[in-house]
Chain A
């Protein structure tokens, strides 16, 4: 489903941070072109 897709990750410190999402996506065919965790509080 994600083969060849370019992905931008915006993670949440009190939810799922970007590095954790990146690790999951790296097991797929997606290419993470940007990842950042933000603090919304």
Chain B
């Protein structure tokens, strides 16, 4: 057994402002129910520019250019206090412009379903040729199609349109004439997951000490399903992403549990590495098209920009112990079981205190808890409150109940062991996993010793069960705890002594 470590992680965002208008589920529903609504008329006036998206402080925290503590110090509302001269790129990833991403969707397209208008195609091709992580062969896949041909497919409802500033620049065709699971809408959503997942893996692969050819297995953890009429969720995004990102020695599979899937995926990866089945496992997710502008009506009503305007993606590499990288503890896994119950006390006990009790740690021994890290600027205007803060208060309240904390320390705990939400409301994207990169950096810098990653999932939305789901694990400083299986000096002496004894006995037998 070896300790699994976090070897690296990447985080990407993609501008999806125009796609939000056309394909976000709130907007689609509104167009169907009330095509002349005031909301739809006002919405275009509440969209952000790409520059505003890059300068938005929570986005810079997501891609790692600023720390969560830096974000806490930024004046609010964040959308009125953009960071000047913010960078598109970071050590962990980037914030990709929408037109370039449409080009990347074309690169991800294995069945010639994506059509790009000629001029747009040439323009995007030029831009992506400059991208530091794409090679000529990948960019050469981009080609153009006559606008009239594309318009005809859109008019005949066999392709989903993609617009930039009101102009049709691309479309995604249906992959079958009658199969509802291969219709144009689903193909667009799935290709977005694949392309944004690919972008995340490209950024993971550029990091020092990581060679994607060494990856044995990929686990994809988004919330879409790919398949056809006979197997709706047959899969698999993981291998599709591996194929186009240089993970040439990998296979993989998709893991699903609504927003909890990334944490499940990381625990599965830790188990696969710890057991020795695989040495290097990538956990990756792409972004959600449906959730773009999910709370748009409330944002417009509050006279603020529609902030859910980007796709999110991430990739994490879990590897065998290198003696340096932060360790995933496999002896302290939190899980909400079928019989746990749904009260907040039961939920927090199963995910936080029970796994800590198993290894003799108290609530305050974990420096940072990464819960549902939704950006509160997106959720509060919609009445959903500050989700991370609510979670921290529940953990602290349980701590008070157990006697780990004084009641007067409750809000201090929230401040010290919590952090502001900084991830877009892309379902699985904000759930626990956004802090893995920050935890890695903070642990190596000696700023924290230990973090807990908590993922929660709303299984009841699938109407198969009323159950909720949640899992958690601890990442901590590598102190050589993974070396316990190494052979000690005493063990070597015993082995040598045993061999000498056997030799002596065999010589005696021969003499007799």
Q: Point out residues on A near B: beta carbons under 8 Å.
A: 12-20, 23, 36-37, 39-41
Contact = CB atoms under 8 A, between A and B. Distances in A.
Nearest to A35: B466
Q: Which of B379, B430, B460, B461 has the most CB of A within 10 A?
A: B460
Nearest to A22: B342
A40 B466 contact: no
Contacts of A19: 341-342, 466
Given A19-B342, A37-B468, A14 B460 contact: no
Contacts of B430: 41
A41 B344 contact: no
A20 B372 contact: no
Contacts of A18: 342, 466
B461 A41 contact: no
B56 to A, nearest CB: 18
Closest 8 A-B residue pairs measured CB to CB? A39-B458, A40-B384, A17-B342, A20-B343, A19-B342, A20-B342, A41-B374, A14-B387
A14 B390 contact: yes
Contacts of A20: 341-344
Contacts of B425: 41
B466 A15 contact: no
Q: Which of B258, B343, B456 has the most CB of A within 10 A?
A: B343
Nearest to B460: A37
A41 B426 CA distance: 8
Contacts of A14: 372, 384-385, 387, 390-391, 456
Contact of B466 (A16, A23, A37, A41): A37
A16 B393 CA distance: 13
29 contacts: A12-B384, A13-B458, A14-B372, A14-B384, A14-B385, A14-B387, A14-B390, A14-B456, A15-B385, A16-B343, A16-B344, A17-B342, A17-B343, A17-B468, A20-B341, A20-B344, A36-B460, A37-B458, A37-B466, A37-B468, A39-B458, A39-B461, A40-B383, A40-B384, A41-B259, A41-B379, A41-B384, A41-B425, A41-B430
A39 to B, nearest CB: 4
A18 B468 CA distance: 11
Nearest to B347: A17
A17 B468 CA distance: 9
A12 B468 CA distance: 11
Contacts of A36: 460
B88 to A, nearest CB: 27
Contacts of A40: 379, 382-384
Q: Which of A13, A16, A18, A37 has the most CB of B within 10 A?
A: A13
Interface in B204-261: 258-259
Given A12-B384, A16-B344, A39-B258, 14 more contacts: A13-B468, A14-B387, A14-B456, A16-B343, A17-B343, A20-B344, A37-B468, A39-B458, A39-B460, A41-B372, A41-B374, A41-B379, A41-B384, A41-B387
Contacts of A12: 384
Q: Which of A14, A15, A18, A40 has the most CB of B within 10 A?
A: A14
A40 B383 CA distance: 9
Nearest to A36: B460
Q: Which of A19, A39, A41 has the most CB of B within 10 A?
A: A41
Nearest to B431: A41
A23 B341 CA distance: 11
Interface string B317-346: 000000000000000000000000111100
A19 B339 CA distance: 13
B338 to A, nearest CB: 13
Given A37-B460, A39-B458, A15 B390 contact: yes
Contacts of A23: 343
A32 B134 CA distance: 57
A1 B379 CA distance: 34
A13 to B, nearest CB: 5
Contacts of B468: 13, 17, 37
A11 B430 CA distance: 21
